[in-house]
């Protein structure tokens, strides 16, 4: 791979330390941003790949492999191939890939390559009625970023298909900036959106924290986009612990398909409400992480709170729900990968 890149870009092969895809073009049209996504409609076509190549002494941003610019890419259609969010609606997939691309473009230099086992990056129930994937990337410095988690789950239930996609960023104790949580649940003609900057401190005791991370970024105005959307109503999580860790500006709404008269279908709701709203909330989180975080927090208290969120907000939920769909062996494997990738002390 390095030798091929060096020959195409006229760069000595020994100088290359890393090559990362920035975007892909087909017929001068950008079709891909970020990394890891796959597009079945591009199977067999010749594509121009733009790379970010890191050299030993310098870095060329978006260096173009110009002397032999095209490569043949075969893109698989099956979920086993690693496709991101393969069972979501087209509009839903665009939302999730957009959010993940925004975060990854900012955090990529701070993250390790994933060490998630292959049998956790894709797993399937024995009866074939449920499939899932979890990919975890740990931070290079756990004091800044603990881990980034991306997951999807597809299940065929008696009531119909259920699709859950999630993107989470858990930060380290060096910053008091909130964690990032986005969950997107499609079921029939309805959708639940769960989007929040999870607070690291008690907002009643620390009013400055509330002002810095929730009032100053205008998060409540973003929340109102969902509140005021047609066919939208608040969604109340059945888990009391989950409700206890949310911020006052959390987006937790259920959107339903409408008619031509009262607001259009669910795809339109996703395109006109969820896509712009989730992008604004994600960009606000990036700004808070980069500019508003403080290192003067009580590390011991922060770690204790973070581990409670990871244990009861994620691990317990996985342990309780995965066995019903996938069996105990797969559930144990997934939970263990989460513990390792998320650095939970066990």
Domain spanning 81-342 has what CATH number?
A: 3.40.1500.20
Q: Three-class SS of residue 238?
A: coil
pLDDT of residue 296: 63
Contacts (Cβ under 8 Å, ≥6 apart) of 318 = 331, 334, 335, 338
Q: Which of 210, 311, 229 is nearest to 273 (CA)?
A: 229
pTM: 0.76
Q: Would you give the distance in Å from CA 269 to the centre of its chain?
A: 20
Whether residue 286 is predicted with pLDDT greater than 60 in this model: the reply is yes
For residues 249-260, average pLDDT: 84
- pLDDT > 90? residue 330: yes
What CA–CA distances, in Å, run from 15 to 22, 108, 111, 205, 346? 19, 21, 22, 53, 41
pLDDT at residue 24 in the model:
54
CB burial string 179-188: b at 16+ within 10 A, e below: bbbbbbbbbe
Whether the predicted pLDDT of 253 surpasses 60: yes
Per-residue pLDDT, 297: 65
Per residue in 116-162, pLDDT tens? 999 999 999 999 999 999 999 999 988 899 999 999 999 999 889 99
Q: For residues 223-232, give the mean pLDDT.
A: 95
Query: Does position 271 have pLDDT exceeding 80, yes or no?
Result: yes
Looking at per-residue confidence, does 29 or 247 come out higher? 247
Mean pLDDT (the chain) is 79
Question: Which stretches within 168-235 are classed as H helix?
Answer: 207-210, 219-227
Instruction: Give yes or no for residue 298 having a pLDDT over 90.
Output: no
Domain map (residue ranges) of the chain: 2-77, 81-342
Nearest residue to 235 (alpha-carbon basis) of 266, 276, 191: 191
Q: How confident is the model at residue 22 (pLDDT cuts 50, 70, 90)?
A: very low
Predicted pLDDT of residue 265:
84
Res 302: pLDDT: 87
Position 4 scores a pLDDT of 36
- For residue 182, is pLDDT > 60? yes
For the cut 60, the answer to whether the pLDDT of residue 321 exceeds it is yes
Q: How far apart are CA 159 and CA 295, in angstroms?
A: 48
């Amino acid at each position: 791979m390095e030798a091929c890149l060096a020959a195409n870009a006229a760069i000595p092969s020994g100088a290359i330390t890393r090559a990362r895809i920035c975007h892909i073009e087909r017929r001068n049209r950008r079709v891909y941003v970020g990394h890891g996504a796959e597009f079945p409609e591009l199977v067999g076509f010749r594509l121009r790949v733009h790379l970010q190549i890191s050299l030993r002494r310098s870095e060329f941003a978006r260096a173009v492999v110009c002397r032999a610019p095209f490569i043949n890419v075969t893109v698989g259609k099956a979920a086993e191939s690693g496709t991101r969010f393969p069972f979501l609606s087209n509009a839903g997939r665009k939302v999730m890939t957009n959010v993940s691309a925004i975060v990854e473009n900012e955090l990529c230099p701070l993250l390790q390559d994933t060490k998630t086992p292959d049998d956790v990056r894709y797993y399937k129930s024995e009866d074939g009625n449920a499939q899932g994937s979890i990919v975890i990337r740990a931070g290079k410095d756990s004091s800044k970023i603990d881990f980034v988690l991306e997951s999807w789950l597809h299940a065929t239930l008696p009531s119909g298909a259920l699709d859950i996609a999630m993107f989470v960023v858990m930060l380290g104790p060096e910053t008091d900036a909130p964690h990032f949580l986005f969950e997107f649940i499609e079921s029939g003609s309805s959708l639940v959106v769960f989007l929040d900057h999870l607070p690291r401190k008690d907002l009643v005791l620390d009013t400055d924290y509330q002002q810095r991370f929730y009032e100053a970024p205008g998060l409540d105005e973003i929340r109102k986009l969902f509140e005021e959307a047609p066919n939208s109503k608040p969604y109340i999580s059945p888990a009391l612990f989950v409700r206890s860790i949310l911020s006052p500006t959390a987006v937790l709404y259920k959107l339903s398909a409408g008619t031509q008269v009262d607001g259009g279908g669910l795809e339109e709701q996703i395109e006109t409400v969820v896509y712009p709203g989730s992008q604004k909330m994600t960009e606000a989180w990036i700004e808070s992480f980069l500019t508003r975080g403080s290192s003067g927090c009580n590390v011991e208290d922060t770690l204790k709170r973070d581990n409670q969120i990871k244990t009861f907000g994620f691990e317990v939920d996985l342990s309780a729900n995965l066995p019903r769909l996938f069996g105990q062996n797969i559930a144990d494997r997934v939970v263990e990968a989460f513990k390792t990738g998320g650095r939970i002390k066990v």
